[in-house]
Each structure stands twice: as C-alpha cells, then as structure tokens.
C-alpha cells in the first residue's frame, strides 16, 4: 500500500470504531511516518514544533494500538497496518451506531462535517502553501467537484494560523459590474475593504489620469495592505465568470499576476496570498507573461477513488464491500456530488443499491432533477446539445467530434466531459445513457 491508500484504509477503520476520522495534523504524522520521515521533518513541513508532533504521534500510536489489538509505534507502523490489511480486518459500520444527522449534499460541505472526504495530499499542500509569503494557488475542477468545500477548509485553517481571510464568489456579481473595467475594479476594492472592516477610501486613491489598474494597485499598496498586521488570504471562487468579459479578463488577471510577482521583492505584497478557483482554462488567450494561470501552485481536484467512496459509504452507515463500490462507480465514476447524492438517499431512505441502480435513469430516480437541469441548459444551446448527443452515441473506438475552445470550456465547466489528452469523453456512464436517447 502507498501512503494514500493506507490513510484511506485507516480512516475507514477509525470511523467504523469511533465515528471519527484523523484530523489534518494526525494525517500528516501518519503519512510522514509511512514514508519514513523523521519527526523533525514532519514538524518542518507542518510548521509545528518537534515536541508537538511527537505528542500527536504518541497519541496516534496509542489509538492505533487499541484499534489493531497490538502495540503500534513509529517503528512498526507499516508492518502492523500491513498485517491488519492482509487479514482483511475491516469491521463493518454498524448503521445503528451512526447517528442519522445526514446532511443533504448540496453546495459546500460545512467545515467540521464528517461527510467531507479528504483527497491527500491536496489539503496539506494547500495549507502549507498558504503559509508562504506572496503565495498563489490555483484550484481547478468542474462544478460540483468540491472546490468551494476545499476553499472553506483552506480559509478555516488560515484563520487558525492567525491570518485574515476574505472569500469572493464571482458568480454572484451583478452583470452590470462586469461591463466596465473601472467599475469592476472599484467593486473589487470595495468588497475587500468591507471584508477587512475598514472605511472605504477609493476617492483618495482613484484617479483617471493613472488608469484603473494603477489606481487599484495604489489602493491596495497605499491603504489596505499597510493596515494589515497579519497576512491576508484572498480567495476568488468561480473566476471563470470573468472569462466572459475579455477586456476585464485581460486586465484583471494581469493585475493579479503582477501582485504575485511584486511579492518576490516587496514585503508589503508578501502579506497577500491569492487563491483562484476555476472550473476550466479560459478560452481567451492570455499573455503568458501576464497570466496568473501559469504560476503558483496548481491543484486539480480529482474524482473520488474507490477507497474514498468506501470511506464515505461508512460515514453514511453503509457497510459496503468492494463489489458495491464498483457497481456505483460503473455508473457515476468517482464524481463527488453524484456519489454523495446516491449514498445520502440510500442511507436516509434505506434504499438497496440494486433498487437505486434500477431507478437511476428514470424520472423517478434520484438524479432526475440533476439530469433535467443539464438537459434544459443544453436544449437552449443547440450546438452544445448536438455535441453531447454525438459523444453519448459514439462507441469507445470512435474518434470524438472536434470541439471548439468555447464548447470545451462550457461543457467542462458544467462537469459533463472529461479531457484525456486531446480526447473528449462524457464524464460517466450515467450521462452517456441519459443523453444518448434525448439529444
């Protein structure tokens, strides 16, 4: 087993016994130990003291000793867990022991929820990067893949480290704000000012003679950043919205790239850590020297793997075996939202997997609203509907149709397609079957 598989297996065991999972620091100690790292190396990567990491480790080994029924230490962790794995000792979750506080899977999974499934090492990489002066992170994934839930945890972790945090969701910005660069950048400055609970002072820094970008930079450099005693994590969700407005996209993204470059030599700008969450690459060609999408730490959220789906099933009190996980994955792959919605309904309604699979594609099925929403969007855009229909009906050996950059952007953002090199495929069997006779 590699460290990720071992951590997933251990979390399933712990949840089956306690209803909990390892926290971020415990996970870091476990993975670091599994990889043969010393406590001091783990402490350095987690920005903690050696003594604190040793304490976390000692508590973790005591917990594992109780769960595995044999003494576990840093030295014998791997062998002890491999013996347990070889014996296939994974207690089934007892549905009666799992409280029925199921959360309907809609939007962000709240911080602290047991239904959030970590995708190591993504979370730890994000947390550690935010500690770096002038950091820039790019989180990429289609909608309903977990970007906003990850952002929420990043900001929560940053707050615990004493940082200020602001989240701006660009999909909720009025369209009229996007009609003019000057207005958009003033809105941007005003929202950050409000987030910092400072009085708005745009008039003191905004001058037509200098232009919008310079005025915006002056406002941050002359007013906002000097007010900060702690670093500021500024997270922008759904930045794809900006791609629809080429003039604003060119200038705004160049501005963000410039701030990131300024942080390399300017301590003031090192206070700012940027996080950009987007669904796909924009179809507007940006100057590579002025784009924030080719610098910083790129994070692409993958689908759930089988071990993670098994862990989530146990969170819902479902005592699933490998075959049941595979049956669900054959229909929806590892799509986080589609997986969550399936497990939620099977747990809350005590619906057998066989019945769920039989109804999945019908109007009475659990996915009917989700599928119908996508169908309505496609029917309003005949060219996109035609492309999806072709993808749904083609065989595995056929060459996919050629798509324009705009079509790829729109369909990938909706989460309907996967990009495999230069090839485009529908994301899962559920979409293929549903759209094959409707488009």
Query: What's residue 279's pLDDT?
Result: 85
Residue at 342 is within a domain: no
Query: What's residue 395's pLDDT?
Result: 77
Query: What's residue 19's pLDDT?
Result: 63
At 434, the pLDDT band (50, 70, 90 cuts) reads: very high
Q: Could you tell me if 126 and 247 lie in one domain?
A: yes
Q: Could you tell me if 162 and 291 lie in one domain?
A: yes
Mean pLDDT of 314-318: 90
- Domain ranges, residue 193: 122-300
Query: What's residue 97's pLDDT?
Result: 44
Q: Could you tell me if 152 and 268 lie in one domain?
A: yes
Q: Chain-wide mean pLDDT for the chain?
A: 88
Which of these three, 265, 284, 300, is where a domain ends? Answer: 300
Asked if the model's pLDDT at residue 389 lies above 70, the reply is: yes
At 90, the pLDDT band (50, 70, 90 cuts) reads: very low
Q: Could you tell me if 252 and 382 lie in one domain?
A: no
CATH number at residue 157: 3.40.50.300
Residue at 69 is within a domain: yes
| Range name among 17-21, 108-112, 390-394 with the lowest pLDDT average | 17-21
- Top mean-pLDDT range of 2-11, 179-188, 355-364, 367-376: 179-188
What is the tens place of the pLDDT at every residue in 106-115?
A: 889 988 888 9
Three-state DSSP string of the chain: CCHHHHHHHHHHHHHHHHCCCCCHHHHHHHHHHHCCCCHHHHHHHHCCCHHHHHHHHHHHHHHHHHHHCCCCCCCCHHHHHHHHHHCCCCCCCCHHHCCCCCCCCCCCCCCCCCCCCCCCCHHHHHHHHHCCCCCEEEEECCCCCCHHHHHHHHHHHHHHCCCEEEEEEHHHCCHHHHHCHHHHHHHHHHHHHHHCCCCCCHHHCCCHHHCHHHHHHHHHHHHHHHHCCCCEEEEEECCHHHHCCHHHHHHHHHHHHHHHHHCCCCCCHHHEEEEEEECCCCCCCCCCCCCHHHCCEEEECCCCCHHHHHHHHHHCCCCCCHHHHHHHHHHHCCCHHHHHHHHHHHHHCCCCHHHHHHHCCCCCCCCHHHHHHHHHHHHCCHHHHHHHHHHHHCCCCCCCCCCCHHHHHHHHHHCCEEEECCEEEECCHHHHHHHHCCC
Q: Could you tell me if 86 and 161 lie in one domain?
A: no
Query: What's residue 282's pLDDT?
Result: 60
At 17, the pLDDT band (50, 70, 90 cuts) reads: low
Which of these three, 91, 111, 134, is where a domain ends? Answer: 91
At 202, the pLDDT band (50, 70, 90 cuts) reads: very high
Query: What's residue 296's pLDDT?
Result: 92
The CA distance from 256 to 269, in Å, is 11
Choice between 224 and 58, residue whose per-residue pLDDT is larger:
224
Q: Could you tell me if 85 and 138 lie in one domain?
A: no
Residue at 234 is within a domain: yes
Query: What's residue 89's pLDDT?
Result: 39
Asked if the model's pLDDT at residue 162 lies above 90, the reply is: yes
Number of domains in the chain: 3
Q: Could you tell me if 263 and 133 lie in one domain?
A: yes
Query: What's residue 52's pLDDT?
Result: 86
At 27, the pLDDT band (50, 70, 90 cuts) reads: confident
Q: Could you tell me if 160 and 200 lie in one domain?
A: yes
Share of the chain above pLDDT 90, in %: 56
Residue at 22 is within a domain: yes
At 184, the pLDDT band (50, 70, 90 cuts) reads: very high
What is the tens place of the pLDDT at every residue in 30-88?
A: 888 888 888 888 888 777 788 888 888 898 888 888 887 788 888 888 888 877 765 54
Asked if the model's pLDDT at residue 92 lies above 50, the reply is: no
Mean pLDDT of 251-271: 96
What is the tens place of the pLDDT at every residue in 268-298?
A: 999 999 999 998 766 556 677 778 888 999 9
Query: What's residue 98's pLDDT?
Result: 46
The CA distance from 358 to 279, in Å, is 31
Q: Could you tell me if 232 and 177 lie in one domain?
A: yes
Query: What's residue 212's pLDDT?
Result: 95
Query: What's residue 1's pLDDT?
Result: 62
Residue at 340 is within a domain: no
Residue at 103 is within a domain: no
Q: Could you tell me if 38 and 172 lie in one domain?
A: no
Q: Could you tell me if 87 and 150 lie in one domain?
A: no
The CA distance from 301 to 222, in Å, is 36
Which of these three, 73, 91, 109, is where a domain ends? Answer: 91
Q: Could you tell me if 377 and 291 lie in one domain?
A: no
Residue at 292 is within a domain: yes
Residue at 77 is within a domain: yes
């Amino acid at each position: 087993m590699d460290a990720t598989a071992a951590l997933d297996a251990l979390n399933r065991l712990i949840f089956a016994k306690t209803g909990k999972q390892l926290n971020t620091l415990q996970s870091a100690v476990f993975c670091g130990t599994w990889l043969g790292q010393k406590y001091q190396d783990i402490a350095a990567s987690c920005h903690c003291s050696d003594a604190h990491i040793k304490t976390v480790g000692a508590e973790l080994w005591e917990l594992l000793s109780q769960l595995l029924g044999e003494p576990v230490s840093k030295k014998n962790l791997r062998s002890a867990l491999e013996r347990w794995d070889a014996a296939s000792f994974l207690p089934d979750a007892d549905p009666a022991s799992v409280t029925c506080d199921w959360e309907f899977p809609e939007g962000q999974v709240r911080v602290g929820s047991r239904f959030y499934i970590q995708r190591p090492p993504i979370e730890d990489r994000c947390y550690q990067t935010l500690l770096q002066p002038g950091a820039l992170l790019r989180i990429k994934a289609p909608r309903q893949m977990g970007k906003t839930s990850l952002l929420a945890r990043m900001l929560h972790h940053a707050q615990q480290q004493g940082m200020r945090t602001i989240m701006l969701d660009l999909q909720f910005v009025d369209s009229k704000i996007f009609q003019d660069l000057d207005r958009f950048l003033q809105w941007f400055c005003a929202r950050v000012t409000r987030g910092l609970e400072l009085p708005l002072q745009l008039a003191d820094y905004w001058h037509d003679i200098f232009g919008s970008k310079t005025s915006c930079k002056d406002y941050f450099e002359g007013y906002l950043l000097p007010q900060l005693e702690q670093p500021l994590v500024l997270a922008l969700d759904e930045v794809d919205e900006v791609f629809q407005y080429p003039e604003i996209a060119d200038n705004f993204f160049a501005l963000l790239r410039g701030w990131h470059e300024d942080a390399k030599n300017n301590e003031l700008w090192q206070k700012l850590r940027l996080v950009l969450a987007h669904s796909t690459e924009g179809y507007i060609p940006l100057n590579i020297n002025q784009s924030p999408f080719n610098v910083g730490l790129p994070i692409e959220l993958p689908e759930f793997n089988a071990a993670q789906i098994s862990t989530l099933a146990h969170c819902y009190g479902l005592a699933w075996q490998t075959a049941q996980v595979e049956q669900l994955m054959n229909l929806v792959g590892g799509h986080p939202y589609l997986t969550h919605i399936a497990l939620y309904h099977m747990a809350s309604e005590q619906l057998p997997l066989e019945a769920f699979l039989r109804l999945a594609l019908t109007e009475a099925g659990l996915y009917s609203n989700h599928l119908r929403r996508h169908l309505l969007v496609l029917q309003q855009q005949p060219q996109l509907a035609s492309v999806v229909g072709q993808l749904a009906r083609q065989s595995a050996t056929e060459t996919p149709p050629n798509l324009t950059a705009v079509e790829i952007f729109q369909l990938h953002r909706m989460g309907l397609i996967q990009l495999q090199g230069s090839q485009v495929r529908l994301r899962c069997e559920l979409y293929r079957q549903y759209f094959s006779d409707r488009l």
